[in-house]
Amino acid sequence: MTTATRNGFPADVRSAAELYLLQGLAPIPLPARSKAPGFAVWQHFHLTPDAIDQHFPAPSSPNVGVLTGGASGRLIDVDLDCPEAVAVADPLLPPTSWVFGRLSRPRSHRLYRATGAPARTRQFSDLDGEMLVELRADGCQTMFPPSTHPCGEQITWDRFDAPGECLSSGLEAAVAEVASVGLLAKHWPGKGTRDKAALALSGGLTRAGWPEERVGRFALAVAEAAGDEESRAGRQGDADGQEAG
């Protein structure tokens, strides 16, 4: 008999792997407190129900990963690697009810079922190489709950109802926008020059042909992620005025 986490999800990895199989996913075993599979050709690993005890034996405490892309029914993981990206994920990414994370990075993984053309695995990094956002599709895997992160924190579900469904092209565009917001927010200037930066950003996007509503939403997201309360208040006021008019 298994125990359950606060949201009712199995607390032991073996039961979780079994549940993922029932959900049409492709779980793989990971070493304890590790994100890396640690064995060759893991991209082609295929777990069957009768082999669960072999690969997730009790009472050991391995981690569990899930193959993304076609192996798991075109499952896409959007991994938000920086706080600025997490801060704007809700307004900019399509809705989904499969969301998980850990204590120091809550709700940092958003899961989707892609439709249309296959989604492409993509990585968006900062100027210094630090990862901002990843879109994981074919050829990738993600450590899933209830695994233990290498830092010692447990991975837990925030919501485990159903993954969002969206066109791959739309999801890729939304992830690119989140990454752009995260990059700008990480390098947003300090007080005294933020208004000029906000005006320059809005002007550049307008000249690039973006519609006014999209420019306002993007600039507001940058201000939100950067903690720029002054620019955020101004943008919100503009939006409220447009709605009232």
Using one digit for the tens of pLDDT, what is the confidence trace for 143-169?
999 999 999 999 999 999 999 999 999
Please compute the mean of the pLDDT values over residues 27-44 and round it to a whole number: 94
The reported pLDDT for the residue numbered 78 is: 98
In this structure, the number of other CB atoms found within 10 A of the CB of residue 189 comes to 13
Q: Note the pLDDT tens digit of each residue in 99-145.
A: 999 999 999 999 999 999 999 999 999 999 999 999 999 999 999 99
pLDDT value of position 51: 96
Domain segments of the chain as ranges: 13-179, 188-244
DSSP class of 10: B
192 compared with 97, residue with greater pLDDT: 97
Query: Average pLDDT, whole number, for the chain?
Result: 90
State the Cα–Cα distance between residues 243 and 128, nearest whole angstrom.
40
pLDDT in tens, 162-220: 999 999 999 999 999 999 999 999 999 987 788 888 899 999 999 999 999 999 999 99
Helix, strand and coil in the chain, % to nearest 5: 40, 25, 35
Cα 92 from chain centroid? Answer: 12
Burial class (CB in 10 A: 0-12, 13-18, 19+), 19: middle
Burial 122-143 (b: 16+ CB within 10 A, else e): eebeeeeeebbbbbbbbebbbb
Check residue 237 and give its pLDDT. Answer: 52
The DSSP secondary-structure symbol of 209 reads T
Query: In the structure, what pLDDT confidence band is assigned to residue 81 with cuts at 50, 70 and 90?
Result: very high
Q: Is 144 helix (H, G, I), strand (E, B) or coil?
A: strand
Residues facing residue 194 across a β-bridge: none
Model pTM above 0.95 = no
